[in-house]
Amino acid sequence: MPHYEPEAWRDGQQKAGDPTVREQCRLLDLLGRINYRILSGNRVYVEVGGVVYKTLYGGYWRSVFTGIEHYLLHCEQVSCAVWKEENTTAVDLPIDYSNGGWTTRGHSLSFILNRDQ
């Protein structure tokens, strides 16, 4: 467990295992493109671990205390006959960085792009 140092993120030092600035820019660009498609009236679906979700929006926030950055996809589950259930199926899929790239819940992201006519 890393030792907490208040506002240490401001010094610009990158820790081992953290994504590079280029990787962070790529992810923010992807989240922006997802949000643009959604705002344009298109749908974006993502498959994570065999479950399909309809993406409602992509999000990013940074803690002002620790500087830890959080990326997520806010989605609704659309597979597994969820329309039969009365409870909400909205879920946040946190996006994490590992040595293999960006993942959510330990699985790589697979986007299902459809073409609306």
62-98: pLDDT as tens digits: 888 777 888 999 999 887 655 555 566 788 888 888 7
pLDDT tens figures, 27-71: 888 899 889 999 999 888 888 878 888 999 999 988 887 778 889
**In the chain, how many domains are there?**
1
Q: Is residue 2 part of a domain?
A: no
Within a domain: 16: yes
- 83 lies in some domain: yes
* C-alpha span between 112 and 38 (Å, rounded): 13
Expressed as residue numbers, the domain containing 83 is 8-113
* 108 touches 97 (CB < 8 A): no
Q: Is the whole model's pTM more than 0.75, yes or no?
A: no
Residue 1 lies in a domain: no
